[in-house]
Amino acid sequence: MRLRSLLTITLLSLLLAFQSVAGEPDSLSVSVRLLVKKIQNKHVKPRPIDAEFGNQVHDYFYSFMDSKKEILLSDDLAYLKKLSSKLNEDIDNGKQDYFSEFYRIFTERSKQIQAIQKGYLSKPVVLNSTKKYDPKMRDQLTSENYKVFWENNLCLAVFSEIVAMHPKDAKVLLKDSLTQFEKKARIKIETRYSNFFEMVQGKKGMQEMYLNAIAMSFDPHSLYFSPSQKAGFVEELSTQKEKFGISYGLDEQNRVILTEILPGSSAWLSNELVTGDQILGVRFNWNSTTWLEVKSGISGLKELSEAFKNFQGREITLRIKDQDGKEEQVDLQKTLVYNDNDNIKNALMTGQNKIGYISLPDFYTNHTASFTEQGCANDMAKCILKLKKDGIEGLILDLRGNGGGSLYEAIALSGIFIDYGPILATSDNTGEVTVLKDINRGFIYDGPLMVLIDAGSASASEIVAAVLQDYKKAIIVGVPSFGKATSQVVYPLDPLVGDFSALQENPDYGYANITGGFLYRVNGKSNQGIGVIPDIELGKTSFDTIEERERVYKNALVPGAIDKKMVYTPSSVDLPVDQLKTFSIRQRTEEIYLNYYHMLDSIGKDYTENQIRSLDMTAYWNESLKAAAVMERFKTWRNTTNWNYQVRSNSFDQTVYDKNPILKKYFEDFTTHLKGDIELFEALGIMNEWLQLIN
């Protein structure tokens, strides 16, 4: 732990008293106290640390560690729930009785499952049993039914692997070769569960989950970050990341292999690495003579991940074995790599009309060398200017799946479409209300604008959709959004560093991402727990459920009303919402949409984890074949449907793609995805009708 020359002896003593290198229960108690104190001090609506709080921590922690409700017994849960009611005493007294007991019981059950698994998978699985697997047994796991439940669970897992390995073109179950498939399936399942339990039994990882459960018990969006998690969180707000360009994981033989090579990275440019190559060793720094020998299995994967996490340099050497068995050494350098998944994308939809389409996956921000912001709002402006140059008559902004990001970027982006005025208001834990405005006169686009949202549209994307709806600048299309109208700030937990101190914090203490404010629309209402309600409902199927939204959380925050009135000027041009809503209903009766949503609804209704399953391999095979046939018909129908619109790039970007094969490939992948997006083409139909009404 670093020393600071300007600290007094008293502060140094305090530092030693608060050491929080993850590991022992007493240091965990310190981390818990620091986390709770910081959140209570900064949270928009702090809650008392009482029995109810402890129960909430238990519910979150249990959901993290046993999400499928398959590991802990009902008696375990009752005991731990009772213990969690005294969590406030644990915090006050610097003890961790609840966590220690959870860890002990969870470890015991894990070993018990591994013993059951080892015994069951050591011999051939019965493939024609008359037994049934009832997932409801998970709701009442006892010491009496535990073994039966897990053997049935393992049986289904083996069945699933047999189906995955079985020839896809076979119309019937190839019983003559089942012995071979069954043996391979057992080996894969045994490896998978061994890796899983080795991973979840790590105490450090479990402590981080526990700290996260404590943070989320204040509200679902307050979080605990370890140093690496905090770095990843910050990195997610940028589309340009420094990377070596490799991803790795375990193959069927439990070896650590390359699973992805990022285009444009030094790994990709080397032309010496391909996915599937086994990683034998890594030398961290070209001048080093020390190699990390990469072991097989989850332990080797964890060791490699930890080494990369702690490495601050920019040069490594990989020793790999290719799929022909040849060993090679490849030097790699960390470089700034464009990440297409996070970046804004645009396309021209040409048909009866020329319509621009822009997809924004999140509200990212990039810091340039001159410390100026060049984020998604700036990129949005560029996209619109390029599309306008090609003469678009309407614009569709796609915010589906956009979970938010930079609040600053959301404000700047909203200003592209409105003249000037308030964008939103924030309220902190003192009740003080601050109005955030677009202060720049003028706009870049003022034509017909449609915004697509879904249950994955949250936070910053809801701000943009709401302000464009309130200003009557856009028609919102889709299903109600997620309903998150709170803002978060990341604070260091180092007790010697203030929130805005010039001192460098010690990252070993971790960080807290704390909900510090509520967000309000310009009409004074909040999206919190409600979401943005679309003007025209589109794309609602059995997959769209309330479970995907903010209101499902028991401890979701409820904002109070604000007195401050925001003065804004909605557009004087009436949007033809009623006419387009009528058209949308009529359009959905067309055969192409009826077929699509009928198939999607069928898949949604048939897909459930709570159905009783037969433990007969033939019955399981037939069910799997039937489900696969439905999915295959759906994919084929979706990908071969001819639409009245063609997808292409704008003229400016096309000249770039002609010279840059990497960006060209990214755009081709993007257009392939769009051609199968039926909800987009349904929205295009509505936009086309809008343009006809104008003309």
pLDDT tens digits for range 471-526: 999 999 999 999 999 999 999 999 888 765 567 888 889 999 999 999 999 999 99
On the question of pLDDT at 226 being above 60, the answer is yes
On the question of pLDDT at 656 being above 50, the answer is yes
- Residue 11 has what pLDDT? 29
For the chain, give the mean pLDDT. 87
- Residue 171 has what pLDDT? 67
User: Cα–Cα distance between 402 and 470 in angstroms, integer?
Assistant: 20
Say what the pTM is. Answer: 0.87
On the question of pLDDT at 21 being above 90, the answer is no
Q: How many CB atoms neighbour CB 192 within 10 A?
A: 17
Vertex 62 angle, CA 528 and 146, to 5°: 140
- Residue 4 has what pLDDT? 32
- Residue 298 has what pLDDT? 85
What is the average pLDDT across 19-45?
80
What is the average pLDDT across 562-571?
93
On the question of pLDDT at 10 being above 50, the answer is no
pLDDT interval class at 237 (50, 70, 90): low
What would the CATH number be for the domain defined by 240-338? 2.30.42.10
Give tens-digit pLDDT for 259-287. 988 887 888 888 899 999 999 999 999 88
Give tens-digit pLDDT for 65-105. 999 999 999 999 999 999 999 999 999 999 999 999 999 99
What is the average pLDDT across 523-549?
86
Q: How many CB atoms neighbour CB 456 within 10 A?
A: 16
Contact 333, 269 (CB under 8 A): no
pLDDT interval class at 193 (50, 70, 90): confident
What is the average pLDDT across 645-665?
92
Residue with tokens 């810091």: 367
Distance in Å from the first CA to the final CA of the chain: 70
Bridge partners (DSSP) listed for residue 487: 517
Give tens-digit pLDDT for 440-458. 888 999 999 999 999 999 9
What would the CATH number be for the domain defined by 340-694? 3.90.226.10
CATH topology agreement for domains 240-338 and 340-694: no
pLDDT interval class at 371 (50, 70, 90): very low
Domain ranges of the chain: 48-217, 240-338, 340-694
Q: Which range, of 66-80, 246-260, 595-609, averages the lowest pLDDT? A: 595-609
Helices (H), 201-239: 203-216, 227-236
Give tens-digit pLDDT for 299-347. 888 889 888 888 888 999 999 999 889 999 999 998 877 666 668 999 9
Which tokens sit at 505?
């914090």
User: Cα–Cα distance between 554 and 542 in angstroms, integer?
Assistant: 23
